[in-house]
Amino acid sequence: MSRGVRHFLDFEKISTNEVRHILELGYKIKHKNFNKKILKNKFLSMIFEKPSTRTRISFEVGMKQLGGDVITLDQADTQLGRGETVQDTVKVLGKYVDVIVYRGSTDKLLNEISKFSDVPIINGLTENSHPCQIMADILTLQEKFQSVDDLKICWVGDGNNVCNSWIDINKHFNFNLNISTPESFKPDNSRIKKVKKYGRNINYFLDPREAVENADVVITDTWSSMGTKESKVRLSKFSKYQVNKKLMDFAKKKAIFLHCMPAHRGQEVTSEVIDGNNSLVLEEAFNRLHVQKSILLWCLNMGF
Ligand code: CP
Ligand code: NVA
């Protein structure tokens, strides 16, 4: 990693204190309506190799509310579409802008480009992780429960990038994590082992009803992430894992429902649950905005 540059890549390379500071600042930004133009003359560039609504808009609005400006690049309208490497693109962008959000393929590539970059790189989602999302999720739960420590949090569905980041952030907070996925869609065991070293309580259940039993929070996500082929065979393997009222009845009476969105109503979640009184999905999406601002400030070493 380039020396002295604060990249926001994953929850392994960032300390517990830093994660907690970013969340505290996100909370202050939201509740004290902090919109000082402290990023005036600073530029953010965002590279999207995959579609985005929330990540793109929340970073753009966040940067602009703090006085900065944004340039967004899709593959089609840059030389990336003609085969210029992300590494070269990032090296060049560093000559113009102060910070970069990258939504791309793998964590491996993300880590590699961060080594070449003279400016901070923020992980805007890879096929392996989505840490910005989980920061907003934790903020949402802290607002609801004060602390996430000791909560029983249950992930149901695909052991995907968002699930991985839930596992990773368990290093920094002492919540209990139950994971229920079809056998062939389990998250990587080595990832879980790394976090268990910190004494965390992570358990796998094939039966989602057992996993959800008495949970404080139930979370799901699409059964086919971007870049994954959606097939009838694939979807049929998940049918038992839909978060519906019947499944939520196994959780605590007032259990909270979260989903990073976009949601596929009728697949991983029913409208009754996502639109229900215990769903915090819109607050969760709103918190992306506040957390993006604090991540930007942390990366630029401002406001800390
Ligand atoms: N949750 C999330 O990252 O949404 P987008 O794909 O719309 O950015
Ligand atoms: N797991 C989903 C998250 C979208 C924000 C995907 O990668 O498509």
Average pLDDT over every residue of 32-54: 93
Query: Considering the entire predicted model, what is its pTM?
Result: 0.97
Strand, helix or coil at 283?
A: helix
pLDDT in tens, 91-143: 999 999 999 999 998 999 999 999 989 999 999 999 999 999 999 999 999 99
Distances (CA, A) of 59 to 97, 100, 149, 256: 15, 11, 28, 26
pLDDT at 75: 78
Ligand 1 near 55 CB (within 6 A)? yes
Residues contacting 220, CB < 8 A, separation 6+: 155, 156, 157, 241, 243, 259, 268, 269
State the DSSP code for 228: S
DSSP helix/strand/coil, 258: strand
Hey, how many other C-beta atoms are within 10 angstroms of the C-beta on 163? 26
Burial class (CB in 10 A: 0-12, 13-18, 19+), 298: buried
Q: Which helix (H) or strand (E) holds 205?
A: strand 202-205
Residue 173 has pLDDT above 70, yes or no: yes
Ligand 1, atom nearest to 50 Cα? 6
57 lines ligand 1 (CB under 6 A): no
Q: Is any ligand 2 atom within 6 A of the Cβ of residue 158?
A: no
Question: DSSP states of 62-102 as a string?
Answer: HHHHTT-EEEEEEGGGSGGGGT--HHHHHHHHTTT-SEEEE
Question: What percent of the chain lies above the pLDDT cut of 70?
Answer: 99
Helix (H, G, I), strand (E, B) or coil at 168: helix
Instruction: Kindly list the catalytic residues.
Output: 103, 130, 133, 221, 260, 288
- The ligand with the least distance to the CA atom of 104 is 2
Most informative mutation of 74, 125, 164 for ligand 1 (most atoms within 8 A of CB): 125
Reported confidence tier of residue 3, pLDDT bands at 50, 70, 90: low
pLDDT in tens, 73-85: 887 778 888 889 9
Domains and CATH numbers, the chain: 16-130+287-299 (3.40.50.1370), 132-284 (3.40.50.1370)
Ligand 2 lined by 132 (C-beta under 6 Å):
no
The strands making up 202-205's β-sheet, listed across from edge to edge, are 202-205, 176-180, 152-156, 217-220, 256-259
Mean pLDDT, the chain, integer: 95
**Atom number in ligand 2 closest to CA 127:** 7
